[in-house]
Amino acid sequence: MTEKTNILYLFDRPTEPIFLNKGEGNISFDVPPEYLTERYKPLASDLQTRFPGDVTVPITKLKSIPDLSYPLELSRSSSFSLFNPYHSKMAAKLIEILMAAKTFDELLSLSVYCRDRINPYMFIYALSVVIVHRPDTRHLTLPSHAQIFPNLYMDSSVFSRAREESTIVQPGSRIPIEIPSDYTANNLDPEHKVSYFREDIGINLHHWHWHLVYPWDGPLNIVNKDRRGELFYYMHQQIVARYNAERLSNDLNRVKKLNNWRAPIPEAYFPKLDGTLANRVWPPRPANSTLSDINREIEQMSFDIEDLERWRDRIFNAIHSGYIINSAGEQVRLTETDGIDVLGNIMESSVLSANIAYYGSLHNFGHDALSYIHDPDNRYNENYSVMGDPTTAMRDPVFYRFHAYIDDIFQEFKATIPAYSVQNLSFDNVQIDSVEVSAPGIPRNEIATFWQQSDVELSRGLDFTPRGSVFARFTHLQHAPYTYKIIIENNGNQRMGTIRIFLAPKFDERGLPFVLREQRRLFIELDKYSLSLKRGRNEITRRCLHSSVTIPHEVTYRNLDKNRPAASSEAAASFNFCGCGWPQNMLVPKGNSDGFPCQLFIMISNGSIDQVEDSSIDGGETCDNASSYCGIRNARFPDTRAMGYPFDRPPREGVATLQQFLTPNMVVQDIKIRFSNRFVQKIQHQPVIKPAKS
């Protein structure tokens, strides 16, 4: 096992040549001279002696190298955009080549060969997808993407200060470089009030990781995961719902969907990120920019706004006629259970789209159109903006306007299928009596939020600087850990149930209680898990740290060399994950200083219906820390119900409010989220081990 972790050193300082030492333990790769790039081949003998490591990793020379000409079409210094079909096809080819390596040694050797030739962003992306999916590497823990490319996650001013610190000060005495909290704008722009959410490092890491686990292009056995089209819809629906809760917490109206692609877009964004590769800044978008037709030869990308509109109309047609037309020209019904999955793949679109020629690529090309709004025909040789990369897209206010629009189309479909009947919602003889939320020192049914600071290691991503740790210190939202206490009465025999916990704001922008038709789209999932109910009264407690949507803070910001629990320890189990998951510190919205009124909703549904038979596809590590948003590795989605159940559909006839929606196996509790504008010292705790499934 240990030698397999050596492949992870390829993520270190991705633009430094392979023969420079990696890691803090001075690892050097014994690179066959033939593997060096043309620039360094003449220096081969000198290089071996100049950069000896304490530990040498032997690299077997392959008899032949597969044809890399297609992925090599993208230059080392270009930007790489996952939403660009040309780029993503090149990455898919590279993934296919690396997946085909017969042994781990072959994979390592091939990766070493590719590393200094292929565009670094593409290489890191492709290798990450491969490591997460290959049976012989998927137990490995990928380094945090924010450590590999910190420039994609924080203010560019950090890096010159970090270089100065690491050049002048010895490793043990270096002080963390603080990222200013208001670096992209100030409150003259109302949108800035929620920049702490949009620019949260953990949230952006989650989004990068989600798209890594669910690539839309690549070998079919990687792309074709259980319900991936539906999860595309649901995970992004939840992002919009969470953003809206954040906006309402800050006295902002809910995000307006971007449905007019001809009108100027009032929201601006000036990212202030460092583009290290092309050595260019990331292009900003001034207020009132307008979309145009895209024609950029260099990215092999050409489409009109009219194309987007045509695809949109065809998708609406499919929704209202109840069927899509597949690529063979046949009608395929959009069913109550699978329709959403089919639509998710069409809309994104992934290579699973039933007819990409007809329905196009509404979501991906929408990202592209927005990301080239400043230079649609490349006359200024400008790169895409943050909307062009899943790593950075969530920083931009327009991301949420666009995804609110995409979500609206999915909701249009959900309105065409039957609403849940009382029978679909209830659980015979089971009733929830009450729920309460508690935390030490905090009034009952309140959740306390505040600011906290954490450090992220930069040295793995700071190419060509002296070795040794240097940290960036960032400020993020946090909440006091709390516990749910749920009382359930089971008047039947012992049986399995699924607890579903959601939260939504109680009042709309005008201060009026939400009608359920609106509020259902604002419910954010906080947790979902199955449990065994004994006969009679069941008193259940559940910690927020065990949420099925989040991963622990330590996992989001992991450092490979430090904090790693001993391989055999219990704590190692929680490091066994794919890194996908909403950051724990962002589980609940910020709230406000008066106590932001929310409604906590708990449901227990019938476990014998929810249970997925034989969910494991090929065994092995499951990586299920955040299954609600990320699924389970190598297994089917662990819940037979529609994602978002019971709020994924408009309520049944006659139900206008949440109260009227309730069946005895549900309960609602008013709670408040109270924010205090103070910094609370970080509580150091070990990664939380989730309880075993009952």
Residues of this chain that bind ligand CUO (CB under 6 A): 207, 211, 236, 363, 367, 390, 393, 403
**Is 292 exposed, middle or buried, given 0-12, 13-18 or 19+ CB atoms closer than 10 A?**
middle
CA–CA gap between residue 291 and residue 375 (Å, rounded): 10
Residue 66, token pair as written in the block: 């597969």
With a CB cutoff of 8 Å and minimum separation 6, the contacts of 58 are 30
| d(C-alpha 339, C-alpha 291), whole Å | 31
CB atoms within 10 A of CB 537: 10
CB of 605 to ligand CUO, least distance (A): 28
95-111 residues labelled b (16+ CB within 10 A) or e (exposed): bbbbbebeeeeebbbbb
In angstroms, rounded to a whole number, what is the distance separating the alpha carbons of residues 430 and 602? 13
Taking each helix axis as running N to C, give the angle between helix 228-249 and helix 339-348, from 0 to 180 degrees, rounded to the nearest 10. Answer: 80
SS3 289: strand
One DSSP character per residue, 407-458 reads: HHHHHHHHTTSPPPPHHHH--TTEEEEEEEEEBTTB-TTEEEEEEEEEEEE-
680, 450 contact by CB (below 8 A): yes
Smallest Cα–Cα separation from 503: which of 525, 519, 485? 525
HSE-up of residue 471 (Cα within 13 Å, Cβ side): 14
Q: Is 205 exposed, middle or buried (0-12, 13-18, 19+ CB in 10 A)?
A: buried
- Name the minimum Å distance from CB 393 to ligand CUO: 5
Closest CB to ligand CUO among residues 83, 596: 83
Asked about 348 being catalytic, the answer comes back as yes
Q: Give whole-number Cα distances, 248 to 237, 255, 447, 504, 592, in Å.
A: 17, 10, 16, 10, 9
Cβ partners under 8 Å of residue 145, min gap 6: 124, 128, 152, 153, 205, 208, 209, 391
Distance CA 346, CA 661 (A): 32
Which one of the listed residues 246, 348, 457, 525 is annotated catalytic?
Answer: 348
Nearest alpha carbon to residue 269 among 159, 388, 147, 177? 388
Is residue 633 within 8 Å of residue 137, measured between CB atoms? no
Rounded Cα distance, 225 and 402, in Å: 25
CB 143 within 8 Å of CB 460: yes
Q: How far apart are CA 237 and CA 502, in angstroms?
A: 14
Is the Cβ–Cβ distance between 303 and 294 less than 8 Å? yes
Of the pair 402, 471, the CB lying nearest ligand CUO is at: 402
Residue written as token pair 């997946």: 99
Using an 8 Å Cβ cutoff, are 602 and 501 in contact?
Answer: yes
Q: Could you tell me the smallest distance in angstroms from the CB atom of residue 83 to ligand CUO?
A: 8
- Kindly report the backbone phi and psi dihedral angles of residue 286, in degrees, each rounded to the nearest multiple of 5, phi listed first: -70, 160
The CA-atom distances, in angstroms, between 67 and each of 116, 200, 217, 344, 399 are: 16, 40, 19, 33, 37
Three-state DSSP string of 298-359: HHCEEECHHHHHHHHHHHHHHHHHCEEECCCCCEEECCCCCHHHHHHHHHHCCCCCCCHHHH
* Enzyme catalytic residues: 348
